[in-house]
Amino acid sequence: METVLADRLQFAFTIMFHYLFPIGTIGLAPFVAAYTWKAARSGDPEDAAAARFWTTIFAVNFAAGVVTGIPMEFQFGTNWAAFSRSSGSVVGQPLAMEGMFAFFLESIFLGALLYGRRGKPTRFMAWAAVMVCLGAWLSGYFIVVTDAWMQHPVGYVAGPNGTYQLSDIWAVVLSSWARWQFAHVFIGALLTGSLIVAGVGAYYLLAKRETALAKRFVRSGTIAAFVFSILAAFPTGDINADDVTKYQPVKLAAMEGLFQSAHGAPLAIIGMPDSKNRTLLDPVYVPGILSYLAYGNFRANVNGLEAYPREFWPPVELTYYAYHVMVGLGTIFGGITALAVLLLVMRRLYSTPLMLWVLMLLVPFPYIANEAGWVVSEVGRQPWIVYGLMRTAAGSSPTVSGGETLFTIIGFAGMYFLLGVLFLTLVLREIGLGPSHPQEVPV
Amino acid sequence: MPTVGYCVIALMLTAYVLLDGFDLGVASIAPFIARNDNERRIAMESIGPFWNGNEVCLIAAGAALFALFPSAYAASFSGFYLPFMVVLWLLMFRGISLELREHLSSDLWHQFWDAAFWASSTLLIVLFGVALGNLIRGVPLDASGYFKGSFSFLLNPYAIAVALLAVCVLGFHGAAFARLRIDGPPAVRAASALTALWWCVAALYVIVSAATLYLRGFDGHWATYACGAIALAALIAMRLALGRSDVAAFAASSLFLIALMGAAAATMYPYILPGYPPGSGGLSIEAAAPSVAAMTTALTVTIGGGIAVFAYGSLVFRRMAGKLRVEDVTQ
Ligand code: HDD
Ligand code: HEM
Ligand code: HEM
């Protein structure tokens, strides 16, 4: 197998699997912190049960995140040695910061939180939970900085032997691309966390268990999810799209399935791109909207893919579908949570089984939206590994063959299958036991 | 400045060896000191709150290497591709077995995960030992600064001797830690394991030191010999502490590990990846260093971050100190 293709497959597979867990960690961390804080303050056993329940689920999720994160940290060196050598001076920095500032914080305080779980929540544990949350968020920030530099390189100078050397660390860490990308990633994860909390609560209500706590879960989950699903589109999604328009116009054209440049370009809601014949099949258009979204003007010119040489096109179909899945799901989340909040205000939510069913079954979908979003941003970046500077094909390790990578992909697949099954078993078991299930260990 | 960076990497790896060393060590001797389900559970609980934080040292050291010496990171990780992947799988498998054991209640599952945990931890120690042995011995770098480490090249007698030393010394370190954390029959068995392991460590230390001198000659950096001497003193202290003071035994084995890592780092200096055969140069820290801005940033981050981690880490760990007894963890 072609080496670069194997490396890309392995990276895509392992990162998409890894990302399943940080979403939960980033999104659930504030709930864990809030419940622990509340329990430490009130001393109420029900609050303590909620805190313990979410801490346990968080911990299982965290462990899976760590286990799948270690390969990510090493893969730049193992599979992308040429990229690491040329760009390590820059991308190594946020990764080192993540290790020193975020991972230690997160894991040491999580250890403290789990250790104290046997007893009643204390002030110290409440602080530990806040630190864990801070660690998870920081780690998300630094990794997004890494990715943002690859999307939009800044703060570097060309060095000897085809390397890119860091010149201004603040420009890298605080780049506007990184800030808005993080905001969007962060909202995506918080939306997921809120929908998990709501979904678990809905399940308990439907199963007629844990009713008092379940109502709290559903209430706080749906309200938060409603707010975050708006923030996912405006302002964060919108600004990400603006950045793409400004810096990566080819990606924008692929996302929208726009082959021919147009004044007053329409927005395709539905349609099937065909990159061979360079058309969008069976489209449903809203006229002028794309020009408006991209440039704030219904008549502006938007460049289509044909304005660029074929070799600079990303895989069009994948980028297009992934983008439409993300935005479509985002719209659906907005609609459903708005309805749920309305029912909540009318005091009918807890007694509307249909809505509870929907909330419960909705849990996997924010994961899909998040993964699809990453496919847009990473596949859409092709053929560049560092946008405009280095081709993906030039980035892989010269001493590792495609066959070797294929072998390790299979190894990862086996290991991750095991991990996935066990993760689901544990989380479902914990949910089955429920928050008020008595602690195994005598206090 | 590259020298400071080199010391930072060496320090982070030493911290990893010290910290993950005790939990790998406890795991590798667990079948010998814990004879029933409860005792094994307690052995795992003794490292339960720590292993994750300890592994973060490895991740952080990897990331620091990436930031401080990108081309060394690129060449070594891609050169050791398959062994590295095996290390990754073992690390994962070990994490899975430790976390899952707690959550499954069947005895058969416990036995399975205990065995898995023992095997993956012990193999990891072996692989780390082989890797360190090969780093000291040198790797066949080509003109563009890459190499491909084949199994037949990596599994040489020297690297295997280093791996055996690693198994014994971390077993000792783990047993000493177990005595600090656990009471009851496992602690008694740990004491006899310590005596046996000490003899193995002493013998292998002599063999590995002699082999290293033979391999690299007597023209090494003075720090190599200083560290070697400290290691010898620590070895004697380990022996003297046996049966007298558990704290002293653990401290002595920590010092021994520090001195060994120091000796290894001093032997390789000024190369971060020495070439093979010995004396054929290699990738020097000057050549591997990135721009001044990058070096300054990475040093600030690692040193500043390290101090902060040390401060809050010791505060938190102090709150969790104390011994576990079998009664505490019985379900
Ligand atoms: C629940 C998750 C979720 C939801 C509902 C949305 N997104 Fe999103 N989106 C993500 C989760 C996400 C993400 C996974 O977090 C990505 C991947 C990379 C990134 O920066 O964020 C992303 C990427 C991403 C990108 C690509 C950025 C790049 O190429 O670097 C754009 C343009 C948008 N989003 C725009 C939107 C818009 C206009 C939405 C309106 C509904 C939207 N997203 C909903
Ligand atoms: C923020 C941290 C991330 C970094 C630093 C990063 C970096 C990279 C690198 C180095 C590659 C391989 C080179 C290439 O193909 O361009 C890649 C490809 C890829 N990544 Fe990311 N990535 C990140 C996040 C993610 C996430 C969270 C996902 C999905 C959930 C993802 C999905 C992909 C996919 C699908 C590819 C393959 C694209 C292709 O080759 O066509 N990435 N990324
Ligand atoms: C190529 C990219 C990536 C690398 C190299 C990477 C590396 C790692 C590593 C080594 C860990 C384990 C840390 C520990 O022991 O505590 C980890 C966990 C974590 N990662 Fe990633 N990661 C990547 C992508 C991402 C992305 C895209 C995000 C989120 C935006 C993310 C967020 C997190 C978080 C929050 C954790 C904490 C543990 C958890 O959440 O389960 N990572 N990552």
Q: Beta-carbon neighbour count of residue B275 at 10 Å? A: 17
User: How far apart (Å, rounded) are the C-alpha atoms in residues B290 and A44?
Assistant: 55
At A441 the pLDDT is 40
Please indicate whether residue A347 or residue B141 has the higher confidence score (pLDDT): A347
Question: What SS3 state is found at B20?
Answer: helix
Residues of chain A with Cβ-Cβ distance to B81 below 8 Å are 78, 397, 399-400, 404, 408
The rounded mean pLDDT for chain A is 85
Residue A302 phi/psi, 5° resolution? -115, 125
* Residue among A66, A82, A95 minimizing CB distance to B95: A66
Instruction: List pLDDT tens digits, range B62-78.
Output: 888 888 888 888 888 88
Does residue B294 register a pLDDT over 70? yes
Distances (CA, A) of A353 to A206, A207, A215, A340, A346: 7, 11, 13, 12, 15
At A1 the pLDDT is 55
Kindly report the nearest CA distance between residue A106 and chain B, in angstroms: 9
Does residue A104 register a pLDDT over 80? yes
Read off the pLDDT band of B329 (50, 70, 90). Answer: very low
- The residue among A244, A255, A201 whose CA lies nearest residue A225 is A201
Residues of chain A with Cβ-Cβ distance to B38 below 8 Å are none
User: How far apart (Å, rounded) are the C-alpha atoms in residues A165 and A93?
Assistant: 11
Kindly report the nearest CA distance between residue B9 and chain A, in angstroms: 12
Instruction: List pLDDT tens digits, range B79-98.
Output: 888 888 888 888 888 877 87
Q: Quick one: DSSP state of residue A237?
A: I
Residue ranges around ligand 3 (CB below 6 Å): A 15, 18-19, 21-22, 25-26, 61-62, 65-66, 69-70, 72-73, 103, 106-107, 136, 139-140, 143-144, 185; B 55-56, 59
pLDDT (mean) for A51-77: 87
User: How far apart (Å, rounded) are the C-alpha atoms in residues A166 and A158?
Assistant: 9
At A187 the pLDDT is 94
CA of A65 to the centre of ligand 2 (A): 17
Read off the pLDDT band of A143 (50, 70, 90). Answer: very high
Does residue B286 register a pLDDT over 80? no
pLDDT (mean) for B171-185: 81
> Is there a contact between B293 and A167 if contact means CB atoms under 8 Å apart?
yes
- The residue among A113, A138, A29, A24 whose CA lies nearest residue A366 is A24
Instruction: Show the tokens assigned to B43.
Output: 């052995």
User: How far apart (Å, rounded) are the C-alpha atoms in residues B64 and B52?
Assistant: 18
pLDDT (mean) for A257-284: 76
Instruction: List pLDDT tens digits, range B44-62.
Output: 777 766 677 677 888 888 8
Kindly report the nearest CA distance between residue B228 and chain A, in angstroms: 30
CA of A271 to the centre of ligand 1 (A): 20
Please indicate whether residue A111 or residue A152 has the higher confidence score (pLDDT): A152
User: How far apart (Å, rounded) are the C-alpha atoms in residues A106 and A126?
Assistant: 14
pLDDT (mean) for B34-42: 76
Residue of chain A with shortest Cα separation from B81: A78
Which uninterrupted H or E stretch holds A272?
strand A267-274
Instruction: Show the tokens assigned to A223.
Output: 């309200």
User: How far apart (Å, rounded) are the C-alpha atoms in residues A21 and A65?
Assistant: 5
At A313 the pLDDT is 86
Instruction: List pLDDT tens digits, range A191-217.
Output: 999 999 999 999 998 888 888 888 889
Residues of chain B with Cβ-Cβ distance to A68 below 8 Å are 92
Does residue A79 register a pLDDT over 90? no
Interface contact A88, partner B, CB < 8 A: yes
Does residue A127 register a pLDDT over 90? no
Read off the pLDDT band of A345 (50, 70, 90). Answer: confident
Q: Quick one: DSSP state of residue A393?
A: G
CA of B309 to the centre of ligand 1 (A): 34
pTM: 0.88
Read off the pLDDT band of A366 (50, 70, 90). Answer: very high
Amino acid identity for residue A153 in this structure: P
Residues of chain B with Cβ-Cβ distance to A109 below 8 Å are 316
